[in-house]
Amino acid sequence: MSASGSPARRSELQPVAVVPILLAAAAAVVVLMIFAGRYGYHRDELYFLVAARRLAWGYVDQPPFTPLIARLSEVLAGGSLLALRTFPALFTAATVVLTALCAREMGAGRLGQSASAVAIAASPGALGAGHLLSTTTPDLTLWIAITLVTLRILRTQNVRLWVVVGTLVGIGSLNKWTIGFLVIGLLAGVLAGPERRLLATPWFLAGVALAVALWAPDLVWQAGHGWPQLEMMFSIQQQSADLGASIAWVPLQFAITGPIATPLWIAGLLRVFRKEEGHPFRPLGIAYLALAVPLAIVAGDKPYYVAAMYMPLAGAGAVPFERWWAQNRGRAKRVAVPLALGMLTLASLPIVLPVLPARTLADVPLQEVNYDLGEQIGWPTFVAQVGRAWRAIPVEERSRAIILASNYGEAGAIERYGKDLPRPYSGHNTYWWWRTPPRDTAVILVVGLFDEGYLGRFFEDVKRIGRIDNGLGVQNEEQGAGIWVCRKPREPLPQMWPELRHYD
């Protein structure tokens, strides 16, 4: 066989189910856009919009790719909520299409391709990621794209495609460093079998070089700032290693994939390990196990870290699904099973998307299951309360006063909605690097998740003047947080600024 793969191997692929795949992708976009403006910005989106106005090659908590998307939404539509969320919806559509192409790459016909597209379009993980702009959104798409090209290399032996893989890995590294998990998993899978010979080529080295070259600007930024992202990652990992979280990790995987995709990816995982047919794609199953087991142990509270692996596995399960469909020709199972799974999917939508009115979350606390629901509620009200507290500070003191927010969501909300308020300061993540308070600061309006004992370390006069209330009774991170006026700094703020820094 030639290095580029023989025509015979290429001809084994079934025709692309263009119309069903595009309909599934379009349906996902329509559903996402219907609910895109239901609540409001998520705290992370507010942060990305601020980062978009301070574009750099790196940040404490992510590389520049996602802030660049936020910047594009600002340029095109002033960062409106619907414009911002159009991008994650489109990434989700791409993920649906790529999943179906993975199914085709592993032998599925039109029926299997269509089934895998529908399964991912309806999966809670894909819909949740497609609702919000976050680093996870393009990360899912890039993981599945890299996996698709790797599957093509395994099938055709076309080693020139390592350059494409390297390009995608480099772009992924500019979005989220966890793309490295996928690289490690796929390498483990390829090295575990005879496919390892596909790595012994200059094309693989060229792909590695290209990935590093694309990633380099972010690495230079991190090195120049003392590697803060590594510091933050170590901090998060220490909080993530918990036995209870590791135990909960397993059932949460089924919640991420949902009732339709779960049978497909389980069938796909079993298929790639079957001797008679799974050999060419066994590295996919090895990659999943190589990632899932250690991540469940060391990062149990981050169950979504391997979410993108279920998409190609669902593609692998498309062929077993086609067999099941053929074996049940004319039987009620063909109707009953898809109908039941579809009804379960519809029932789960309020957990994933803002289907219910925001006020309902006070009585039906779905945000305890899906944290992100609550973090889209109450930001304009929060800023209005901060504004009233700021205007209560005597006019003659405001020239030497600042607003200090406990986290980037609060600071981002003030920048977004507080048109008559000064730009806030925060010690949280990259906000700490952006601005240092003036030396002559005498009055500090402090908002957010602080307590009197902590603030007393920095200021002699600490007075709480209120608490945040979103007016809906919805519990989220800011609900009940304090509003403080602090005076008499124990030292000039620039000297205390390093102690106010926190990464998480």
Per-residue pLDDT, averaged over 263-292, amounts to 89
Cα radius of gyration rounded to whole Å, the chain: 25
Task: Please check whether residue 401 lies inside any domain of the structure.
Answer: yes
State phi, psi for 8 to the nearest 5 degrees.
-60, -45
Q: How far out from the chain centre does Cα 114 lie?
A: 25
Q: How confident is the model at residue 379 (pLDDT cuts 50, 70, 90)?
A: very high
502 DSSP assignment: B
Residue-by-residue DSSP string for 371-395: HHHHTTSSHHHHHHHHHHHHHTS-H
Decide: 186 and 204 in contact? Cβ < 8 Å: no
Contacts of 336 (CB under 8 A, 6+ apart): none
**C-alpha torsion sign, points 430, 431, 435, 436:** negative
- The whole-number pLDDT of residue 12 equals 78
Average pLDDT estimate for 453-477: 95
- The whole-number pLDDT of residue 62 equals 93
User: Does 317 score more than 70 pLDDT?
Assistant: yes
User: How many Cα neighbours within 13 Å face the side chain of 471?
Assistant: 9
Between 177-186, 241-250, 349-358, the lowest mean confidence (pLDDT) is in 241-250
The verdict on 298 and 333 lying in the same domain is: yes
How far CA 360 is from CA of 303, 374, 376, 468, in Å, comes to 27, 11, 14, 19
Can you name the residues that pair with 413 across neighbouring β-strands?
none
- Sign of the CA dihedral 118, 121, 123, 125? positive
Amino acid at 441: T
Quick check: is 176 in a domain? yes
Domain that holds residue 409: 379-500
For residue 335, the model assigns a pLDDT of 83
Task: Flag whether 6 is in a domain.
Answer: no
Q: Copy the structure tokens of residue 304.
A: 């979504």
pTM: 0.92
> Taking a C-beta distance cutoff of 8 angstroms, is the pair 408, 71 a contact?
no
Q: Are residues 320 and 386 in the same domain?
A: no
Kindly report the average pLDDT of the chain as a whole number: 92
For residues 24 and 107, membership in a common domain is answered with yes
Q: Residues 50, 132: one domain? A: yes
Q: Which of 315, 337, 352 is the last residue of a domain?
A: 352
* pLDDT value for 295: 84
Residue 267 near residue 321 (C-beta atoms within 8 A): yes
Q: What three-state secondary structure class fits 138?
A: helix
Residue 124 or 299, more confident: 124
Q: Which amino acid appears at position 129 of this protein?
A: A
Q: What is the pLDDT of residue 63?
A: 96
Amino acid 190: pLDDT:
95
Amino acid, res. 290: A
In the three-class reduction of DSSP (H, G, I as helix; E, B as strand; rest coil), residue 444 is classed as: strand
Mean pLDDT of 472-478: 94
Query: For residue 403, what are the β-bridge partners?
Result: 445
CA 240 to each of CA 11, 67, 89, 236, 251: distance values in angstroms, whole numbers, following the listed order: 46, 26, 29, 6, 17
Tell me what pLDDT residue 314 has: 96
Instruction: Label each residue of 107-127 as H, E or C.
Output: CCCHHHHHHHHHHHHCCHHHH
Select from 352, 369, 404 the last residue of a domain. 352
Q: Using the 8-state DSSP alphabet, how is residue 425 labeled?
A: E
Q: Looking at the domain assignment, is residue 274 inside a domain?
A: yes
pLDDT band per the 50, 70, 90 thresholds, residue 504: confident
pLDDT at 249: 82
Residue 404: pLDDT above 80? yes
| 318 & 255 share domain | yes
9 belongs to a structural domain: no
pLDDT tens digit string along 4-27?
A: 343 334 447 999 999 999 999 999
HEC sequence for 293-316: HHHHHHCCCCHHHHHHHHHHHHHH
The amino acid that residue 164 corresponds to is V
pLDDT at residue 252, rounded to an integer: 87
**Claim to verify: residue 50 and residue 128 sit in the same structural domain:** yes
* Number of domains present in the structure of the chain: 2
Examine the pLDDT at 425 and tell me if it is beyond 90.
yes
The pLDDT, as a whole number, for residue 237 is 67
Instruction: Write the CB contacts of 50 (distance below 8 Å, at least 6 apart in sequence).
Output: 408, 411, 412, 415, 416, 431
Q: What is the 3-class SS of 47-74, one letter each residue?
A: HHHHHHCCCCCCCCCCCCHHHHHHHHHH
Same domain, 391 and 251: no
- Phi/psi of residue 452, each to 5°? -65, -35
Which of 309, 335, 352 marks a domain boundary? 352
Q: 435 and 340: one domain?
A: no
Does the pLDDT value for residue 229 go beyond 50?
yes
Residue 348 and residue 221 share a domain: yes
Give residue 242's pLDDT band: very low, low, confident or very high (50, 70, 90).
Answer: low
Q: How would you list the strands of the sheet with 443-448, edge to edge?
A: 425-426, 401-405, 443-448, 482-489, 459-467
**Crossing angle of helices 81-105 and 110-121, rounded to 10°:** 150
| Separation CA 295–CA 490 (nearest Å) | 44
Query: Per the domain annotation, does 360 fall within a domain?
Result: no
- Tens-digit pLDDT profile for residues 319-351: 999 999 888 877 777 788 888 888 988 888 999
- Is residue 299 over pLDDT 80? no
Residue 368 lies in a domain: no
Provide the residue count of the chain.
504
484: helix, strand or coil: strand
Residues 209 and 130 in one domain: yes
Q: Which burial class, exposed, middle or buried, applies to 336 when counting CB atoms under 10 A from its CB (0-12, 13-18, 19+)?
A: exposed
What dihedral do alpha carbons 368, 288, 349, 40 form, nearest 10°? Answer: 60
* Same domain membership, residue 192 and residue 266: yes
Q: CA 307, CA 312: separation in Å to the nearest integer?
A: 10
Q: What is the dihedral of CA 373, 379, 380, 385, to 10 degrees?
A: 140
In degrees and rounded to multiples of 5, residue 422 shows phi and psi of -70, 155
Q: Both 101 and 232 in a single domain?
A: yes
- 151: in domain: yes
Mean pLDDT, to the nearest integer, of 173-177?
96
Give the pLDDT confidence score for residue 251 in this predicted structure: 87
> What's the mean pLDDT in 162-174?
98
pLDDT at position 467 over 70: yes
